[in-house]
Chain A
Amino acid sequence: MNRRPWVLGLVVALVFLFLYAPIAWLALASFNSSRSLSRISGFSTQWYAELFDDTRVLASLQLTLQLALASAVISTVIGTLAAFGLRRAFPGRGLWTVLLSLPLVVPEVVMGVAMLGFFVKLAGVPLGFGALLFAHVAFSLSFVVVVVRSRVSGMDVRMEEAAADLGASPWTAFRTVTLPLVAPAVVAGAAFAFLLSFDDVVISSYLTGVGSTTLPVFVYAQASKRGISPEIVALSTLMVTATALLLIIGVVVASWRARRAGSTAELV
């Protein structure tokens, strides 16, 4: 396989083409002068202008951002705790692992209808922001745990032991040694949780209440009636750019933190 890596390289290039083709097309179509998404006829920025005048889209964008932020904060905090809980073997760890892998594999439609039935018929929780938040944390948590846990389990316990030997209290050792080491994974987990919530259509579509429509649900409802509007294509292009920037910042910060943690490790 490694005798001819260029064959492999070609295949990989094609897979990347497959991944980026629709994104590139969206960016192109957002500057189209006609409404069509399939035929490009000229250059214009009118869809961006119309987007920024559309208060309904902007309102649901604001709601979606607030929801994603709240969901990411909660799931990152309790998910990180859980990842540390799973660090060492203990009786019952297998059961916890099974529980935590459920949200990863239960189809969204099943989770969505289950939560709808639970909130409406049993718990009396009104549909809307609260129900959405409960649900979003529930399906994002496991991703945070998986990401943070992979870092925690690969961590050298001797670092913390060294800190303790040098007289650090458990809290100081955690704050100055453990936390910087897992920070990149926590950031990655938080970004994951944010974007899972930000992009969710299926589960949210069951739980939105009056006046609390998230953007993906709004887009889905609008698109199934009269196709996707060019404004949404423009917004999507902005979202792709924004998420890409967010990810790049995340990667840069993570590698910076890792380098700093690495140099501290050398000092120890």
Chain B
Amino acid sequence: MSRRWLKANALLTPTGLWLGIFLLAPLWVVVQFSFATRDTGVARAVLPWTAQAYLTALDPAFLPIFGRTLVYAVATTIACLLLGFPLAWFIARHGGRFRTVLLAAVLIPFWSSYLARIYAWKALLDGEGLVNTVLGWVGLDRDGGFLLTHGAVILGLTYGFLPFMVLPLYVACERFDFRLVEASFDLGHGRVSTFFRIVLPGVFTGVLAGSLLVLVPAAGDFVTPKLLGGVDQSTFGSVIDDQFRGGNNWPLGSAMAVLLLVLVVLVLLLRGRRGEDVL
């Protein structure tokens, strides 16, 4: 092997060891648990191997929960794209020497306490909260406020994951040659045509990386739906959590975690090489 190969691997070894022991090994343990029988107190031996947990996990009774999780995750990704793109584009294009400051301004709320922010939204969306009061001035208020609705959950998730969308989008926008937009206009293309033919392909790696960073974690989140959505808002993540904390059915929880992991791997494979340099 060449010297360069040795040097690179030597530098990567500490990280590789850490992730191997504290991330890959645990994930492998989950895969083992998922094939174990309940009540075996699974340790090293996981016999008898059984697919029972997967059969339970794929029970139609869980379908509405999976459906709801998917809707939350996809809606959150779309909302983050719609809010994040103008922001990233604006900072990259018009930020000038204030770029760093503007980017930091996006990140400051994100670097505060996550729970406190969710509770602040809870208060704002409450029946007596500010949002309902302001909407009341124009007659758009809603009895009991907006808490415990699907909209509230999607809003909370969008709020929580927006920075993960903005950062890769910003990187992509910064690399984008803005003169292409002028050229497109000069050549007679309209706004819509320019956006879809020039801008979107130009920043696509950022869109891909950002969507990946939002979609999968949003599908696993259970704290936000629990706090903003109320009792009937169980999601994929909260069901897994219940198996480990309350229900004490580790094999079932593990099988569901493995299904979620498979989703991650599928999305990573779909991404292919295109988003790699951004992520």
Contact = CB atoms under 8 A, between A and B. Distances in A.
Nearest to B113: A236
B56 interface: no
Contacts, number: 271
A86 interface: yes
B146 interface: no
Nearest to A27: B120
Contact of B18 (A1, A106, A137, A201): A137
A94 B101 CA distance: 33
Contacts of A96: 12, 16
Given A15-B86, A107-B216, A135-B22, A101 B113 contact: no
Contact of A240 (B112, B216, B221): B112
Interface string A77-96: 01101101111101111101
Interface in A95-147: 96-111, 113-119, 121-123, 134-135, 137-139, 141, 145-146
A220 B123 contact: no
Contact of A103 (B19, B194, B268): B19
A114 B34 CA distance: 11
Contact of B29 (A106, A114, A248): A114
B30 A117 contact: yes
Interface in B84-136: 86-87, 89-90, 93-94, 100-101, 104-109, 111-117, 119-124, 126, 128-130
Nearest to B259: A110
B223 A220 contact: yes
Contact of B83 (A18, A94, A240): A18
Interface residues of B, number: 95
A88 B124 CA distance: 50
Interface stretch (A5-13, A52-60, A158-166, A172-180): A5-13
A263 interface: no
B75 interface: no
Contacts of B26: 111, 114-115, 117-119
B65 interface: no
A238 B10 CA distance: 42
A244 interface: yes
B195 A20 contact: no
Contact of B240 (A82, A104, A110, A137): A110
A23 B222 CA distance: 22
Interface string B164-180: 00000001000000100
A42 interface: no
A232 B257 contact: no
B260 A85 contact: no
B18 A78 contact: yes
B189 to A, nearest CB: 12
Contact of B115 (A5, A105, A121, A219): A219
B115 A141 contact: no
20 contacts: A1-B89, A1-B199, A2-B182, A5-B94, A15-B86, A23-B112, A78-B14, A86-B8, A105-B213, A115-B26, A121-B29, A122-B43, A123-B25, A134-B22, A139-B23, A145-B15, A216-B113, A216-B114, A223-B115, A246-B111
